[in-house]
Amino acid sequence: DTAVSQTPKYLVTQMGNDKSIKCEQNLGHDTMYWYKQDSKKFLKIMFSYNNKELIINETVPNRFSPKSPDKAHLNLHINSLELGDSAVYFCASSQASGGGTDTQYFGPGTRLTVL
C-alpha cells in the first residue's frame, strides 16, 4: 500500500550513459513532481506535471526529460549522464494544482551515482 514509489532506489552508472527513474503514486493525485537533492542536502524542484501536462520546468538541462504516461506515473529520463548529475532524486505528488495548501507526499528517493 505504498503511496509514492520509485524505482530503482539506487542507480550507479558510468558517465555518458542514459538512464531512467520510474515513479508511481496510488493516492489518486493529479499533480506529480521531480525534485533533486544535492550533496549538501539542498532540495530543488525540477519538473511538475498536472494530469499528464507539464506545468513547471525549472532551469534543468534538456538532457533531463520527464514523461507522464498517465496521471499516476511520472518517469524521469536522463541522457548523457554527467558527474554533476549525482544526487538523490525525489518524486512527489499532491492532490491538485494551483493551491498553496496542497501537501506534497514524497517517494523514498533514488540515489544516482555517476562514475
Partner 1 sequence: AQKITQTQPGMFVQEKEAVTLDCTYDTSDQSYGLFWYKQPSSGEMIFLIYQGSYDEQNATEGRYSLNFQKARKSANLVISASQLGDSAMYFCAMRDGGNEKLTFGTGTRLTIIP
Residues that bind partner 1 (CB under 8 A): 31, 33, 35, 40-45, 48, 50, 55-56, 58, 88, 90, 92, 97-109, 111
Residue 42 CB, shortest distance to partner 1, in Å, is 6
DSSP 84: G
How would you label 85-108 residue by residue, b for 16+ Cβ within 10 Å and e otherwise? bbbbbbbbbbeebeeeeeebeebe
Closest CB to partner 1 among residues 65, 109: 109
Cis peptide before 61 (omega within 30 of 0): no
What does the alpha-carbon distance between residue 115 and residue 46 come to, in Å, rounded to a whole number? 22
| In the complex, minimum distance from the CB of residue 67 to partner 1, in angstroms, rounded to a whole number | 18
Residue placing its CB nearer to partner 1 in the complex, 64 or 90: 90
CB nearer partner 1, residue 33 or residue 64: 33
Phi, psi of 71 (to 5 degrees): -70, -10
Q: Which residue number, 48 or 75, has a Cβ lying nearer to partner 1?
A: 48
The nearest distance, CB 88 to partner 1, in angstroms, is: 7
